[in-house]
Structure 1
Amino acid sequence: MSILKIAIQKSGRLNEDSIQILKDSGISIDNGNDQLKATATNFPLEVYFLRNSDIPQYLIDGVVDAAIVGDNLLVEKGRNIQVVEKLGFSKCKVSVAVPKNFNYNSITDLNGLQIATSYPKTVSAYFKARQVEIDIHQISGSVEIAPNIGLSDAIVDIVSSGSTLFKNNLKEVEVILKSEAVLAVSPLISDESNQILDKLLFRIQSVLRARKSKYILMNVPNEKIQEISKILPVLKSPTIMPLAEENWSSLHSVIEEEKFWEVIDQLKAAGAEGILVCPIEKIVL
């Protein structure tokens, strides 16, 4: 029987969210402490727990069929690796940062300076495209301390909240790229494994739709149903159920969470009352 081999980060910011999205997709994984490999009990899936920086090469070589990995890592190390879905978590930026006392006006201020980074290819391509010559000092881990100990004039590193930069007296001055976790596929994946991947992708997409949406219920005067229905961005059309109180109905719909606050005042102004917003576990289209 064919089995899909998927890699996720062994530890770090991507690990927990990667495991969670698989679990939310109905996949049970018995992963004990320090396991390098775990098999799902209810889906043809084998999970490899790998060092983050090694994952692109495992995909390229076909050792694993797919991976949940940061998009920034694929930009740096991936080639011929297809991204089939953006997963919406572990969002970050790969940014240029300089000491707070650096008088920065534009990227040309970095011309001829030394930049420490774990992303030499990404950095080289970015500065070359802007015709700025730099000296790259490649290091791994604790990149942000490089200017403080005289290893570099600036850095390029992952920025999430910016707290690490602040603690090291650095400021962000350029964003090279924005990144998030993605589901990536090996160019050597077999047809059998690709069929399993399609089933996994279907599940993941159902989870992602639900994470972005909310189930909304409200009491509406019957004469306002049409007006309120036009306000709501819905999958197709709202569900209408009569209430015990005459000339009133309960209107049910699905709304994108980010759009809710845009329309809430309109709903209330149009006569909606008792508005409830509930989480959704899955949306299957």
Structure 2
Amino acid sequence: MTTETRLRIAMQKSGRLSDDTQALLKRCGLKLNVSDRRLLAHVTNMPIDIMRVRSSDIPGLVMDGVCDLGIVGDNTLEETALERERMGNKSSYIRTTGLNFGDCRLSIAMPEGFNYQGVKSLDGLRFATTYPQLLNRFARDKGINVEFCLLNGSVEVAPRVGLADGICDLVSTGATLEANGLVEVEEIFHSKASLIQTASPLSAPKQKILDTLLPRIQGVMKAKESKYIMLHAPKDKISEVSALMPGKETPTILPLAGRDDLVAVHVVATETFFWETMEELNALGCNSILVMPIEKMMS
């Protein structure tokens, strides 16, 4: 089969998004033949190839049409798009869907003891960062001037060795900042993983593969955020019970064998189902309340 009939997806070879991406593809039913030594992996049950590369290479591979799809953090995607626009290079792409992993934020952090009095406090300072374009855009939007030194690792040590006044870097928990005597003062960009697509039209065979794959991805995402709720409820309390159910789904009401006073209520909840709600349901006379994860969904 030629490359014109095989969909090519770029993903991170190693790093925080790699495991989540592989797990997503596997939950979509793709059987991956992945080897740590090989940059190109093949899906054995669908005409799909997986290109395993550095995260920073993924946006360019999709924008240039080398890969049809890519799974990448919004921070890397936006930084690359801004840089390519600045250089006059091709930067168009389609953001097909947002994914519910890779959550982090790009923030400015300053040494402990810095007297932060708002964004104007940062005017004229120098920052170590891997994301100069996002930093510059933030500075322009806020009407301040900043300098930067580009670092691809160990950004947190820059203030300590006198290389910069502060840093602009990704933050998840803040533990690394605290360990290096830094305090987060300003969030400038929030990021999750996204599935992106080349702006060039796909061939008919590739489009057919994508039309199969995309609903699966969306179904996995929706399932991860949803719960299946089952309970037994008094017949005369159905209105009150339904009103307590989270989300917009209409509950399914089923008879219970040998019981005229109780019915079974089933519903998919796309919102958080709190303990307090379970206690309210129990107070209405409901019992056997089960809240279960959902593996797959399709509308």
> TM-score over 0.5 for the alignment?
yes
Which residue among 211, 214, 218 is the counterpart of 1:201?
214
Report the Cα offset of residue 234 of structure 1: 4.7
For 2:33 and 2:277, how far apart are their aligned partners in 1? Answer: 43
For 2:174 and 2:216, how far apart are their aligned partners in 1? Answer: 33
For 2:70 and 2:145, how far apart are their aligned partners in 1? Answer: 35
| Aligned position for 2:131 | 119
Q: Is the 8 A contact 1:96 1:157 kept in 2?
A: yes
| Aligned position for 2:269 | 255
| Aligned position for 1:128 | 140
Which residue among 179, 184, 200 is the counterpart of 1:188?
200
Q: Is the 8 A contact 1:239 1:253 kept in 2?
A: no
For 1:262 and 1:76, how far apart are their aligned partners in 2? Answer: 43
Give a deviation string over 1:48-85, Cα, whole Å, max 9, x none. 10011111111111110111100111111023122111
For 1:184 and 1:261, how far apart are their aligned partners in 2? Answer: 37
Give a deviation string over 1:180-229, Cα, whole Å, max 9, x none. 01101111252432332222110011111111111111111121223312
Q: Is the 8 A contact 1:6 1:67 kept in 2?
A: yes
Would you say 1:51 and 2:54 are equivalent positions? yes
Q: Is the 8 A contact 2:251 2:266 kept in 1?
A: no
Give a deviation string over 1:75-126, Cα, whole Å, max 9, x none. 1102312211111101000000011121111111111111111111111111
Q: Please tell me the residue identity of whatever aligns with 1:64.
A: C
Report the Cα offset of residue 260 of structure 1: 4.0
SS at match of 2:96: strand
Q: Is the 8 A contact 1:113 1:134 kept in 2?
A: yes
SS at match of 1:149: coil
| Aligned position for 1:65 | 68
For 2:258 and 2:179, how far apart are their aligned partners in 1? Answer: 60
SS at match of 1:157: strand
For 1:165 and 1:241, how far apart are their aligned partners in 2? Answer: 57
Would you say 1:211 and 2:214 are equivalent positions? no
How do 1:95-114 residues align onto structure 2 when only pairs under 5 Å count?
95-114=107-126
Q: 1:92 to 1:199 in 2, by over 3 A?
A: same
Q: Which runs of 4+ in 1 moved over 4 A?
A: none
Query: Relative to structure 2, which stretch is displaced further, 32-41 or 21-30?
Result: 32-41
Q: 1:212 to 1:262 in 2, by over 3 A?
A: farther
Gaps of 5+ in 2: 82-90
Identity of aligned residues (%): 39
For 1:58 and 1:189, how far apart are their aligned partners in 2? Answer: 15
Query: Relative to structure 2, which stretch is displaced further, 261-270 or 169-178?
Result: 261-270
Q: CA RMSD in A?
A: 1.6
SS at match of 1:172: strand
Gaps of 5+ in 1: none
Q: TM-score, normalised by structure 1?
A: 0.95
For 2:177 and 2:262, how far apart are their aligned partners in 1? Answer: 56
Q: Is the 8 A contact 2:251 2:265 kept in 1?
A: no
For 1:262 and 1:39, how far apart are their aligned partners in 2? Answer: 47
For 2:186 and 2:230, how far apart are their aligned partners in 1? Answer: 44
Report the Cα offset of residue 257 of structure 1: 4.8
Q: Please tell me the residue identity of whatever aligns with 2:280.
A: Q
| Aligned position for 1:10 | 13
Q: TM-score, normalised by structure 2?
A: 0.91
For 1:244 and 1:16, how far apart are their aligned partners in 2? Answer: 49
For 2:132 and 2:62, how far apart are their aligned partners in 1? Answer: 20
Query: Relative to structure 2, which stretch is displaced further, 189-198 or 55-64?
Result: 189-198
| Aligned position for 1:229 | 242
For 1:249 and 1:243, how far apart are their aligned partners in 2? Answer: 9
For 2:25 and 2:252, how far apart are their aligned partners in 1? Answer: 30
| Aligned position for 1:161 | 173
Q: Please tell me the residue identity of whatever aligns with 2:218.
A: Q
Give a deviation string over 1:136-163, Cα, whole Å, max 9, x none. 1111111111111111001111000111
**Alignment length (residue pairs):** 285
For 1:248 and 1:86, how far apart are their aligned partners in 2? Answer: 41
